Amino acid sequence: MKAVIVERNNKVGIWDIPEPKASDYQAKVKVIAGSLCNSTDTKILHGEFAGPHPVILGHEVVGEVVETGSKVRMYKKGDLVVRPRVTAYPELELGTAFGSFVEYGLVTDEFAREEDEGSKRQRMPNQTRADPSWDPLALVQTITLKETLSFLKNLGVEEGDAILIFGTGPVGLSFSIWARHLGCDPVIVVGRRDEACRKALDFGRATHVINNQGENVVNSVRRIAGEGVKFSIEAIGENAVLRDCLECLKTGGEIGIYGVSPNSQGKSPLLQDPRVSKARPDEGAVDQEVLEAVKKGLIPAREFVTHELKFEECEHAFQLLAEKKAFKIGFSF
């Protein structure tokens, strides 16, 4: 089968690798749609996260179950499922960076396995299923939507809270959309380009935007939110923004760190500040809530995708992102 491989820094290739074999508790999945994660996948391409190269790329995909193991009970043939993947191929000296940009992947029935073993689940699985009526590319976008909603809930965000979000990419605007949906006010998004800030207002539903190339973020936040915000979200992956995150908080406020900082930045000492929350995403916990909200038209999903390409065009997709010509790129497999 074909797979998208980051061969070395800034070099993507398409390799032929063996198809995975499902165990008793696994289902084999034909991948049919996916999308690039603008931040994480780009950092993997540049050798700034997950490695060493070569590695199988991708974690935002949806596929159709084509075969199930003898003990699988959660999945059935024809189901759409999110996040199928493959593991590393030691015989090819090939690692995996989540390993989902492949023609065939696997999902594991954790419920069946742990039920049979008599153990108790600590969290819901993120390899969840949906009925075949879904537009696959819309379903792919629910991966980020589930991550961001669950992150906000685990952070403790509630109606009426003032929230500040650093980042105008798909993740940042997912946070702002959910923040408005949860009743936060104000919802302030910080970006670097006027076009991105406008998108945060129009598509991201932000109440206010700040272009940090021409405005002082802390002063602007104080003008908007008085004593400061209850929560700030670092959705970019840059240690340089942490100080602004801290300085914009009101007493008792917290920072949620979502963005993955590249290896070259090292660890900021500001991460040890007690106001930095340990909250993390838990997709499975909000799976049905997100799917229902998207189905009802309350939350946009398909609208995130601005460009559609074949997965073999991954190299071109990275170029479009680098040139700021695309917001979110969807793939067909």
pLDDT band with cut points at 50, 70 and 90 for residue 268: confident
Higher pLDDT, 315 or 261: 315
Distance CA 261, CA 275 (A): 18
Strand ranges across the sheet with 55-56: 11-16, 2-8, 55-56, 95-96
Is 80 exceeded by the pLDDT of residue 309?
A: yes
Q: Which CATH number fits domain 157-272: 3.40.50.720, 3.40.50.300, 3.40.50.2020, 3.60.20.10?
A: 3.40.50.720
Instruction: For the beta carbon of residue 296, count every other beta carbon within 10 angstroms.
Output: 8
Is 90 exceeded by the pLDDT of residue 14?
A: yes
Cβ neighbours of residue 193 closer than 8 Å, sequence gap 6 or more: 168, 211, 213, 324
Q: Note the pLDDT tens digit of each residue in 118-155.
A: 887 766 778 999 999 999 999 999 999 999 999 999 99
Residue 213 has phi, psi (to 5 degrees) of -85, -15
Q: Summarize the confidence of residues 156-167 as an average pLDDT.
A: 98
Q: Summarize the confidence of residues 298-320 as an average pLDDT.
A: 97
Token couple for 100: 């989902």
Least confident of 43-52, 165-174, 192-201: 43-52
Domain boundaries, the chain: 2-142+283-332, 157-272
pLDDT band with cut points at 50, 70 and 90 for residue 49: confident
Distance CA 288, CA 286 (A): 6
Q: Summarize the confidence of residues 58-62 as an average pLDDT.
A: 97
pTM score, whole prediction: 0.95
**What per-residue confidence (pLDDT) applies to 65?**
98
Token couple for 323: 């040139």
C-alpha to C-alpha distances, 92 to 15, 45, 96, nearest whole angstrom = 11, 19, 12
Is 70 exceeded by the pLDDT of residue 47?
A: yes
What is the average pLDDT score of the chain? 95
pLDDT band with cut points at 50, 70 and 90 for residue 222: very high
Alpha helical stretches, state H, 156-276:
170-181, 194-202, 217-225, 242-247
CATH superfamily of 2-142+283-332: Medium-chain alcohol dehydrogenases, catalytic domain (3.90.180.10)
Positive or negative, the Cα torsion across 257, 234, 277, 121? Answer: negative
